[in-house]
């Protein structure tokens, strides 16, 4: 018996990193999964690796209302329903406020926050018609704490918390649960790119200060996301879940 037997999930940003891990883990737990991404070749390869009976890929830019309509329609066409949405797609741009191009700030908010809002908006009708569902929004530890150079990223991830709580209030009566997940450092392309631009940060010191003194593997986040997607989390909504190796538990001295 899988934790997600019979469930159908749409996962955004599924071509690599944590989205790819979520797709594989969800399929292993019995779900059928549609992954969306702007990286078509990588996304198709992930879906092919899982197998068409369990996973399909759809080209999906989360900032596009039209793409959202297609992604949700294709999910229902492929597997008959939609029970779970994981709003995982995200981008990070690192620059001090005074040096940041306003277009970059807007792009980060557009993908990380507006994209998440568009997704919730799109799945409410089919989830309501299907008797309910679970929406998992991927925020970050930067949804709880700011960081120099991450004004756009942090603002977008704080925003996801407010969106999650409001949506949970609104959608509870329809049987739709909405929660947010807040990973710390996870070894993905995003983390590697951030490490290259955030040259002032002492990476080794950062890791040593953590109660769990290492980066997470993506699947360690996938297990939490799968729990929230499953019926095991049936009384949990509007809540925030850290998976940060203890980073936010104290100052590390
Ligand atoms: N890696 C970390 O340490 C970390 C920590 C906390 C939170 N997060 C969050 O986890 C999520 C996944 O990040 P990751 O580390 O796997 O990064 P990643 O860069 O490896 O993967 C992100 C995926 O999102 C896709 N994407 C970007 N813009 C998109 C768009 N407009 N439409 C659809 N897809 C788009 C990318 O193509 C990519 O496949 C993000 O929301 C990120 O902010 C990451």
CATH number, residue 218: 3.40.50.720
Quickly state the pLDDT bin for 253 (edges 50, 70, 90): confident
Provide the phi-psi class of 129: left if phi over 0, else alpha when psi is between -120 and 50, else beta.
alpha
Residue 92 placed within a domain: yes
- Distance from the CA of 91 to the center of ligand 1, in angstroms? 6
Provide the 8-state DSSP code for 186. Answer: B
Residue 1 placed within a domain: no
User: How far, in Å, CA of 53 to CA of 69, rounded?
Assistant: 22
Residue 236 placed within a domain: yes
Residue 249 placed within a domain: no
- Distance from the CA of 89 to the center of ligand 1, in angstroms? 5
Give the closest residue (by CA) to ligand 1 atom 30: 61
Q: Tell me which residue of 251, 19, 28, 120 sits closest to 7, measured CA to CA.
A: 28
List pocket residues of ligand 1, CB cut-off 6 Å.
Answer: 12-13, 15-19, 37-39, 60-63, 88-91, 111, 138, 140, 183, 185-186, 188-191
Provide the 8-state DSSP code for 215. Answer: P
At 186-217, the pLDDT tens digits run 999 999 898 888 887 777 888 888 999 999 99
Look at the chain and report how many structural domains it folds into: 1
By residue range, what is the domain housing residue 77?
A: 8-242
Give the closest residue (by CA) to ligand 1 atom 32: 61
Best residue for ligand 1 mutational test, from 15, 63, 71, 89 (most atoms within 8 Å of Cβ): 89
So what's the pLDDT on residue 197? Answer: 86
Q: Which two tokens stand for residue 103?
A: 């277009």
At 150-192, the pLDDT tens digits run 999 999 999 999 999 999 999 999 999 999 999 999 999 999 8
| 182 close to 213: Cβ distance less than 8 angstroms | no
Q: Could you give the C-alpha distances from 88 to 33, 138, 139, in angstroms and in order?
A: 14, 5, 8
User: How far, in Å, CA of 122 to CA of 133, rounded?
Assistant: 13
As annotated, the active-site residues are 153
């Amino acid at each position: 018996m899988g934790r997600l037997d019979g469930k159908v999930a749409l996962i955004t940003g599924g071509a690599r990193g944590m989205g790819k891990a979520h797709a594989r883990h969800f399929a292993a737990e019995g779900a059928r999964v549609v992954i969306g991404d702007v990286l078509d070749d990588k996304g198709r390869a992930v879906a092919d690796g899982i197998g068409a009976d369990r996973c399909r890929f759809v080209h999906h830019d989360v900032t596009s209302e039209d793409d959202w309509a297609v992604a949700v329609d294709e999910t229902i066409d492929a597997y008959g329903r939609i029970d779970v949405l994981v709003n995982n797609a995200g981008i990070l741009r690192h620059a001090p406020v005074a040096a940041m191009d306003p277009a970059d700030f807007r792009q980060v908010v557009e993908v990380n926050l507006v994209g998440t809002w568009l997704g919730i908006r799109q799945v409410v009708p089919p989830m309501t018609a299907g008797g309910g569902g679970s929406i998992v929004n991927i925020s970050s530890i930067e949804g709880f704490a700011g960081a120099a150079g991450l004004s756009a990223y942090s603002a977008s991830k704080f925003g996801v918390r407010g969106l999650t709580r409001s949506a949970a209030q609104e959608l509870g009566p329809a049987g739709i649960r909405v929660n947010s997940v807040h990973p710390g450092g996870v070894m993905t392309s995003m983390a590697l790119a951030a490490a290259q631009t955030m040259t002032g940060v002492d990476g080794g010191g950062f890791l040593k200060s953590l109660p769990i003194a290492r980066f997470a593997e993506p699947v360690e986040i996938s297990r939490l996301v799968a729990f929230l997607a499953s019926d095991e989390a049936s009384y949990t909504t509007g809540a925030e879940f850290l998976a940060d190796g203890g980073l936010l538990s104290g100052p590390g001295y």
